[in-house]
Amino acid sequence: MTEQAITHSVLLAAPKLLGGFFEESVIFILENNADGSFGFVLNRSTKTQLSDLMPDAPEHLQAATVLLGGPVQIDHLFFLALQTDQRASAAIRVVQDLSAANCLGANPNLQVLPVLGYAGWAPEQLEGEIQGDDWLVTNVDPITLLQVPLSERYAFVRAQLGFDPTLLGQSPGRPQ
């Protein structure tokens, strides 16, 4: 049941996660199963365009800003494909080959996001961090989230919670 509840959800870093890589992170969890969890930070930019890393990228993607998807394999470039005409989070998937016809503009409702690295957890590690109030599992639609400017995504997801997450417990360095 936890696998279903976390897969394809958006996680919000709790306010107590200060000073580390995940401070104020918003993460889309692509997979959560017995092998662990796998997702991408959706609110951190590398300040690099895809053309800087891949000069031969398809023309319509060359100016795309590359996201920093997580601290794991930051030398690996992933491509998230989003079906923008669907409202199901399952519409997000990882694409390996940009030359595939379904990624080259043949589908006007397909958006491709370049992402360096990913966020990963060992089996049951993410569940433990959620129980420890390090992460809040939200029902924010990731397609809607990606329409929000990058710098505003954390605040957007936090506002969607309907409560102040600092009330969950001690947040080091924050007044209570």
What was the pLDDT predicted at 100?
60
3-state secondary structure of 60: helix
Q: In sequence order, what DSSP letters do the residues of 99-165 get, joined into one string?
A: TSGGGTTSSTTEEEEEEEEEEEE-TTHHHHHHHTTSEEEE---HHHHTTS-GGGHHHHHHHHHSS-G
User: 83 vs 95, 97, 103, 110, CA distance in Å?
Assistant: 12, 16, 11, 5
Query: Whole-model pTM above 0.75?
Result: yes
| pLDDT single digits (tens) 46-85 | 999 999 999 988 888 899 999 999 999 999 999 998 877 7
pLDDT of residue 5: 77
Q: How many CA atoms lie within 13 A of 73 on its CB side?
A: 12
4-33 per-position pLDDT tens digit: 579 989 999 998 888 889 999 999 999 999
**pLDDT, mean of residues 109-122:** 91
